[in-house]
Structure 1
Amino acid sequence: MNTLKFKTNIKCGACVATVTPHLTKAVGIESWQVDLQDPNRTLTVTTDKSPDEITQLVQEAGYDANLV
């Protein structure tokens, strides 16, 4: 498992709720969280997936994610 961090445009609890089904349904993601207090709205994911796969899942939910 790797821990990956992404800068996102996820801004609030409702945004997190929108992303939740996309990340929780994905096989290979052990855990994830978004730090809404961080100005970069950092998404931290513990996963076997590649950064591109995580970015794709977040984009499917309508948000941006850039590996940091």
Structure 2
Amino acid sequence: METIKFKTNINCGGCLKSVTPHLNELDSIESWKVDIENPDKILEVRLEGDQNEVVKAVTEAGFEIEKV
């Protein structure tokens, strides 16, 4: 299990609602959270598996994401 951080443009409650189903459907994710107070809107993910799945899920939800 590893924790990976990504910079995103998920910046409000509505954005969180949009991305939640995409991230929750990934079996490799144990937990995730977005620090919307951080200027870089850091998405912290605990997962066992391919981090590219996370990137794909967030992109499909319509958001930008890059590994920190």
> What range is the shorter-chain TM-score in?
over 0.9
**Count of residue pairs the alignment pairs up:** 68
The aligned runs of 1:1-20 (5 Å cut-off) are 1-20=1-20
Contiguous gaps of at least 5 residues in structure 2: none
Counting aligned pairs with the same residue, the percent is: 46
Give the equivalent residue in structure 2 for 1:42.
42
TM-score w.r.t. length of structure 1: 0.95
Large movers: runs of 4+ above 2 Å: none
Contiguous gaps of at least 5 residues in structure 1: none
TM-score w.r.t. length of structure 2: 0.95
Give the equivalent residue in structure 2 for 1:33.
33
> CA-atom RMSD, angstroms?
0.7
